[in-house]
Homo-oligomer: A and B are copies of this chain.
Amino acid sequence: MWISLPSSYKDKKVISIGIASELTGLSERQIRYYEERKLIFPERSKGGTRKYSFGDIERLVDIANKMEDGMQTFEIRREEMKKSSVRNKMLRGQINAAFKMRE
């Protein structure tokens, strides 16, 4: 199975926290807290304001659902780390495969 790296609009960090709040239904307080708990990683402007991508918005909605299900932040983080771990392994596999093809 092949894994691709996403790009373009979905991953451009251009959304302020106020808009993110409207889009997700979460309070700004909640969104900042999830960042504190390492569940979300916005970029910052020079002035320090947070900037989110549509991908981040999707992740926030996902987080909101899991919180509703009674999951705690550390559990959600653990789950995400597992996923990215698997993803990294697959990417390494692809890179190795690419190198082999060059031989």
Interface status of A54 (Cβ within 8 A of chain B): yes
Q: Which residues of chain B are near A12, meaning CB under 8 Å?
A: 54
Give the nearest-CB partner of A19 in chain B.
Answer: B14
Q: How many residues of A contact B (CB 8 A)?
A: 12
A14 touches B10 (CB 8 A): no
Question: Shortest distance in angstroms between A14's beta carbon and chain B's nearest beta carbon?
Answer: 5
Q: List 7 A-B contacts (CB under 8 A).
A: A9-B9, A9-B54, A12-B54, A14-B15, A14-B19, A16-B16, A18-B45
Pick from B14, B16, B19, B45: contact of A23, CB under 8 Å: B14
Give the CA-CA distance A18 to B23 in the complex, in Å: 20
Which residues of chain A from 27 to 77 have a CB within 8 Å of any chain B CB? 45, 51, 54
